[in-house]
Amino acid sequence: MKQSYSIIDIETTGGRSGSNKITEIAIINIDDGIITDTYSTLINPERNIPWAITQLTGIDNDMVADAPKFYEVAKKIVELTKDRIFVAHNVFFDYNFIKYEFSELGYQYKRAKLCTVRLARKHLPGHKSYSLGKICADLQIPIEGRHRALGDATATTKLFKMILEKEDNPPLIEEDSKKIALPAKLERAEYENLPTKPGVYFFYDEAGVLLYIGKSKEIKKRVSSHFRPDIKRSRDLELKNRIAKVTYTETGNELAALLLESHEIKTNRPYYNRALKRRKFPKHMELKATLSGEKVIHIFHGGELEKSTYAFSNKKNAERKRDFFYLQFIGVGLDHPEFNQRKDKLIEKVGIDQFNLLLEKTFFNKVPQKRDFSIELAGRNNKETCIINIKDYKPYEISYYDLENQENVETIKIKGTQDNADLIRNYMARHGLKIKPSNDLSPNNQIDDDIDYEYDFS
């Protein structure tokens, strides 16, 4: 039987698909062992590429400045991989990044998958390591351009061909999830009809009592995780056994789902939603002057959100962001043994006032200067846009507009809570969003390019 494959490799700004972006992609198509297409391009991630990533890949900000953005190459990726099996070394890394990029455009990207790491372990046993560099070195497969998309994709193609020669039949594709065991009281048709789109889902018991509220970028996939046959925690088993009905609200994008979930939980307070009844982002960060007049980045617990404050889910994330600022400012993090020496040398060179101004510039560089603004994101379908309106940093409504008629389709009011304000700031920091001024919120308005988020807080 003829099999068509797309061997794919990407380079990114970091290791997590939800908070990083693609900087390069390569696709090599093979049919019956013969290469039929080769495609590669740099991609402008619309955010800073960390120094450590540049050291690994050689890709820096200047190289991608004039490269196409992901949405400009999205159609090409769809066409090249259509009706093909998606193959990569550690396939879920590459696949999830690409899938997430498409989801941000409002498109569901879905392909069958194969992982050459797993296949190599099965058909080429006996190697100490199955990382691409080491397995290729063992098998004398040259890699011209390690940690560059085309170089790694070419090496993966040669490895994959070697694996195919070991098999009589086409290899089995990877499954997205484990088997599920539906609750006894839930109709299978109700589960099967769940969408694979962003939104909020609701679990009810037989009496119609709301048990639990959750959100996901893929509703059906997240709901299925509640129905795993290997659930062991008693509280999770108890919830599963009580579920008799599942409903959902599509939101079109992850941020709207996060806000709606938070609003619904605080409004309805379901018994099984303990986590979101607490502050989701209890750690904050601001600039604070010491007795000597020198300003420092200060992390504290709780407090109201001010212009000078960033919000974090835990102390570790706050400390990582603090070190990120200091790394930009004086070249090392707070825990580095040369931190005080470098800081004091800079103060001696420029003076305390200029030192404070430089630190303020680094710290406030991407903080929105307007307290009232809106964010435009993908709608629930390709004919809609979603606008989240924020006043005094607190989101208060999610509006959907018909792109063709420029008419408001639906508006969902949400509570302007401190948690939702923290959530907005956290999400904006992680995803590189642009905002629109609050005095003109219709979808056709010009985006305010002076307020731009192009950094990674992960």
Q: Provide φ and ψ at 400, rounded to 5°.
A: -115, 130
Q: Where are the beta strands (DSSP E) in 13-130?
A: 22-31, 34-42, 85-88, 113-115
Pairing of strands 283-289, 310-312: antiparallel
Q: 9, 6, 43: which is closest to 28 by C-alpha? A: 6
Choosing from 147, 226, 263, 284, which is the catalytic residue? Answer: 147
Annotation marks residue 147 as catalytic: yes
In whole angstroms, give the CA distance from residue 131 to residue 121: 11
Q: Residue 341 corresponds to which tokens in the numbers above?
A: 């020496």
Neighbours of 158 (CB within 10 A): 14
Q: Are 257 and 399 in contact (CB under 8 A)?
A: no
For 283-383, where are the E strands, in sequence order?
A: 283-289, 295-301, 310-312, 373-378
d(CA 174, CA 113): 5
- Give CA–CA dist 47/51, Å, rounded: 13
Between CA 120 and CA 158 the distance in angstroms is 12
Q: Which run of H or of E encompasses 319?
A: helix 315-330
Please state, in angstroms and as integers, the Cα–Cα distance from residue 144 to each residue in 35, 147, 153, 237, 281, following that order. Answer: 18, 9, 10, 51, 45
- The residue whose two tokens read 């308005």 is 445
Residue 111 β-bridge partners? none
Backbone angles phi, psi at 410, to 5 degrees: -160, 145
Would you say the C-alpha torsion 331, 337, 343, 345 has a positive or negative sign? negative
For residue 55, with 0-12 CB atoms within 10 Å meaning exposed, 13-18 middle and 19 or more buried, which class applies?
exposed
Q: Which residue has the tokens 């740099």?
A: 42
Active site residues: 147
